[in-house]
Chains A and B, each alone.
Chain A
């Protein structure tokens, strides 16, 4: 029996936040990110029969998403490339050097920090996977969405003291998990 199996009905609840946070720093556009995630789910369903169960569901979905992101940049670049031939051929540069080639140099500290913070975010989401699903959802509503205690209590049918017990356990588990996996 393979180590991992696929359960498409749970993909959205389990992985959509992870996929979104992975994508948004890479494409910087919500609309595009959502479309890429849509395409990823569909592509995953189409190739589900080739899933061998060696990687986890999440790793497998991310590998599909990565390809979608690369395809997206390829499409933009081929479009941009044609336009840029006319516009950006600067005389200050050596022959054949494109302004566009300067872009990687601007990938500076800020961008590096941003990627590291994003990785931290993904680590947090991964850690939340190991706690009770409903508790993780409550923790996210409170901590990431910043929702009101009262609103969350109504939504999940719990009392404020229930909520604080859940939050406390989630924070303790999360801190321990990050201690182990992040530092």
Chain B
């Protein structure tokens, strides 16, 4: 295997990993390049990438939020307090 091939060719497992990272803008330029190169020759990974992007779009569209930890703590305390009170 030539040096170039070794540097740029990745397997499907690695390609999916790069694709996941790309969903979070965590893929480095080299990783992205390797991914695109792999996608050019691999139908299965093209399919995965398509599905993965769609999922990202859906999550973005849903505008989901999580409650702040602080608030959660407060609710937990409130529940514990009431729960214990009612069950003594």
8 A-B pairs with the lowest CB-CB distances in the bound complex, closest first: A121-B62, A121-B64, A120-B62, A12-B75, A12-B76, A16-B67, A20-B67, A45-B82
Q: Which residues of A contact B86 (CB under 8 A)?
A: 45-46
Known interface pairs A34-B71, A38-B78; A117-B62 also in contact (CB < 8 Å): yes
What are 12 A-B contacts with C-beta separation under 8 Å?
A: A9-B76, A42-B82, A118-B62, A124-B64, A143-B59, A144-B59, A144-B64, A144-B65, A145-B66, A175-B52, A175-B54, A175-B55
Give 1 or 0 for each of B1-44: 1 = CB within 8 Å of chain A CB.
00000000000000011001101101000000000000000000
Across the two chains, which residue of chain B brings its CB closest to A45?
B82
Total interface residues in chain B, CB < 8 Å: 30
User: Interface segment, A68-76, A96-104, A164-172?
Assistant: A164-172
B75 to chain A, nearest CB (A): 5
Give 1 or 0 for each of A155-170: 1 = CB within 8 Å of chain B CB.
0000000001001100
Q: Which residues of B contact A138 (CB under 8 A)?
A: none
**Beta-carbon contact of A125 and B64 below 8 Å:** yes
**Beta-carbon contact of A120 and B67 below 8 Å:** no
**Beta-carbon contact of A24 and B79 below 8 Å:** no
> Whole-angstrom distance between the alpha carbons of A144 and B63 in the complex?
8
Interface residues on A, range: 35 or more
Residues 94-153 of A at the B interface (beta carbon under 8 Å): 117-118, 120-121, 124-125, 140, 142-146, 149
Residue B58 contacts which of A41, A125, A142, A178 (CB distance < 8 angstroms)? A178
**Beta-carbon contact of A140 and B66 below 8 Å:** yes
**Beta-carbon contact of B79 and A45 below 8 Å:** yes
Q: Which residues of A contact B62 (CB under 8 A)?
A: 117-118, 120-121, 124
> Whole-angstrom distance between the alpha carbons of A174 and B62 in the complex?
14
Interface residue? A37 (CB, 8 A): yes
Interface residue? A84 (CB, 8 A): no
> Whole-angstrom distance between the alpha carbons of A11 and B78 in the complex?
12
**Beta-carbon contact of B65 and A24 below 8 Å:** yes
Q: Which residues of A contact B82 (CB under 8 A)?
A: 42, 45
**Beta-carbon contact of B79 and A9 below 8 Å:** yes
Q: Which residues of B contact A13 (CB under 8 A)?
A: 72
Q: Which residues of B contact A117 (CB under 8 A)?
A: 61-63
Residues 12-30 of A at the B interface (beta carbon under 8 Å): 12-13, 16-17, 20-21, 24
Known interface pairs A149-B26, A171-B52; A41-B67 also in contact (CB < 8 Å): no
> Whole-angstrom distance between the alpha carbons of A140 and B62 in the complex?
13
Residue A164 contacts which of B17, B54, B71, B78 (CB distance < 8 angstroms)? B17
